Amino acid sequence: MKKFTMIIALIALTGIVNAASIHYEAADSSKAIRIYCGTNTVTAAIYGAGAAATNAITINGTVNTIDGSGSIDTIAELAAAIVACTNASGAAVLTVDTDCALAADSTDGELLTGSYTKDAKGWIEIPWDTSAALHYDVYIPDANAGGIRNTQAKLAGVYGNPAGTGAVTLNIYKDGALVWQKFYAEPSGVSGTNDAIVVISNGINVEEKVNLPIGDKSILIRATRATTATTGMLGASIE
């Protein structure tokens, strides 16, 4: 009986370890930058490029203005500005996770405007404005940024409808390094009047079996449209 019980327990544990999980983001929900609030109540007010008076990080009522009009217009620069924000005692108390984006990504009008608030011990997640940034992202954080995965995990597949116009480039980054890429051209044909090549559909569906070992590393999956991005989505399965 004891051996039987042990076998059942091992089967159950194996099922938990190998269980698949689904991660997906719709338009205007992909994370551009994440702020860990610690023991503080924090509000991030994001109103785009040139709006220095209204871009601010407020920590327990203390307002820190961030000038997004020129010198702070990439993810790396915005992250540094947020980390430098202080509370009423003049202490810098925030942690920023930028693995959900690329350091050189522009924030000069590409962030979704709004006010984002989180109480202590939570994450503020500022999203991309998909129509301005032109990409759909799925982010899976590592353990240091709130992710929970075993070291044997793999990215099984990527799927979705990154709606818009122009070609699609699908990139996968592991701990910030590009490890997988695929290009999708829009479906085209030959015009019946002058034999010119014409686009016959803007629709591009992504359905890829990737089977990429990722372990407990951070993963960023990005589908970028060449011309416009509208109301689509992108998803991934982890095993």
CA 235 to chain centre: 11
For the segment 36-54, what is each residue's pLDDT rounded down to a tens digit? 999 999 999 998 665 556 7
| Confidence (pLDDT) at 24 | 96
Residue that is written with structure tokens 């989180």 in the block: 118
For the segment 162-183, what is each residue's pLDDT rounded down to a tens digit? 999 999 999 999 999 999 999 9
> Model-level pTM greater than 0.75?
yes
Task: Using alpha carbons only, give the angle 158, 75, 180 rounded to the nearest 5 degrees.
Answer: 30
Query: What is the dihedral sign for C-alpha 217, 29, 227, 206?
Result: positive
d(CA 65, CA 108): 16
Query: What is the dihedral sign for C-alpha 179, 17, 30, 156?
Result: positive
Closest listed residue to residue 186, CA positions, set 208, 156, 166, 157? 166
Distances (CA, A) of 191 to 7, 19, 197, 226: 65, 49, 6, 22
For the segment 180-238, what is each residue's pLDDT rounded down to a tens digit? 999 999 886 665 666 566 666 788 999 999 999 998 899 999 999 999 999 999 999 99
For the segment 93-140, what is each residue's pLDDT rounded down to a tens digit? 999 999 999 999 999 889 999 999 998 778 999 999 999 999 999 999
